[in-house]
Copies of this chain bind each other. A is one copy, B any other.
């Protein structure tokens, strides 16, 4: 097990056991007060590096970006009842997930995430433990990339928990990946496997007490893919430094939806080979057991936070070598076509169908959908 996996495992166990304990004795937020909250965050989670001239504690943070770098910025918002459900998500899950959504955005640009700002509203009945667990989740997600918490705003809320995260990153101008560079004839790749996170959420929602311990069962694997997805920051940096990708997007809304976004920005179409989609054995077995269509689910299921990228066919062998050297799957799942041809799925029997834009959409949710973690609506 890698050191990173161990860290995550400990974090999950801690949060999990925390939930089983009797009601916490830590001070309520009303007892802690707003200055108590600020001091807690400053003491526990603010880090100082040479690039931070002023972190938490002034009207604004002051930082220095590396010379010649462009600034990258991304914001994500998690709303109780829409993106998470406190009946089965812990505060640690919320913090972790909020950070990963943003880290994944910076990754998809080929950038290095650097600084974090948080805006958190939560009812005064919650306790210091809850706040610390949420920030611990954020910290666990950010720690491998040495992000620093440089500021934020904390408020009471009359109803529901809201968490907005802004991550600031940077990249050299010639190493940035956008959604706009895909060209006809390019190959379409994804990292990792598809659909696992969605299956993990389903297990969490429908099974009374799924065990959160890291283990070898399908359930444990899928649950971890939902609760502790790993943003592909390092891999994306390799792709951008080695000039191996022509365009990239992270898979937050689901392959179908995110492929549509990438193609729209690049002004192209795409043909996806159904048989090539990388599906984990655990996901396949879960689909069979629950009588669901693995292909449809893999196309529309969100929050895997894998990368979808395009590459010139001349980069194919270099990508294969990179995958082997990292011992991590980079799977070619199709090719870029002209815009006129649309976005299609080619089955192994040779038949083709259009892939509709799918995935969760805000403001149109059904009651069921309103309880999924799916469907970040990012405008930037």
Contacts and interface: CB of A to CB of B under 8 A. Distances in A.
B34 A363 contact: yes
Nearest to A160: B159
Q: Which has the most chain B C-beta neighbours within 10 Å: A62, A73, A378, A380?
A: A380
A127 to B, nearest CB: 11
A310 interface: no
Nearest to A68: B67
A282 interface: no
A81 interface: yes
Contacts of A378: 59, 151-153
A379 to B, nearest CB: 5
A42 interface: yes
A138 B248 CA distance: 31
Interface in A4-42: 29-30, 32-35, 37-38, 41-42
Given A42-B379, A73-B115, A380-B57, A62 B109 contact: yes
Contact of A59 (B81, B109, B156): B109
Interface stretch (A116-124, A197-205, A338-346): A116-124
A124 B377 CA distance: 14
A333 to B, nearest CB: 19
A53 B65 CA distance: 17
A96 interface: no
Contact of A153 (B61, B75, B108, B364): B75
A176 B64 CA distance: 13
Contact of A380 (B61, B81, B158, B370): B61
Given A82-B158, A155-B377, A60 B106 contact: yes
Nearest to A83: B155
Interface stretch (A162-170, A212-220, A293-301): A162-170
B117 A75 contact: yes
A75 B119 contact: yes
Given A151-B379, A378-B151, A109 B156 contact: no
A121 B82 contact: yes
A380 B73 contact: no
A70 interface: yes
A370 B117 contact: no
Nearest to A36: B363
A178 B79 contact: no
Contacts of A171: 62
A378 B152 CA distance: 6
A249 interface: yes
Given A166-B166, A363-B32, A376 B75 contact: no
Nearest to A113: B60
B380 A35 contact: no
Interface in A336-380: 361-365, 370, 375-380
Contacts of A168: 71, 73, 168
A77 interface: yes
10 contacts: A37-B362, A53-B176, A57-B379, A58-B109, A71-B168, A75-B118, A77-B162, A153-B164, A160-B160, A162-B164
Given A77-B119, A81-B159, 9 more contacts: A55-B380, A58-B265, A59-B108, A60-B105, A62-B176, A63-B71, A75-B117, A77-B153, A162-B164
List the 5 closest A-B pairs by CB distance, nearest first: A151-B380, A119-B164, A164-B164, A60-B74, A77-B119
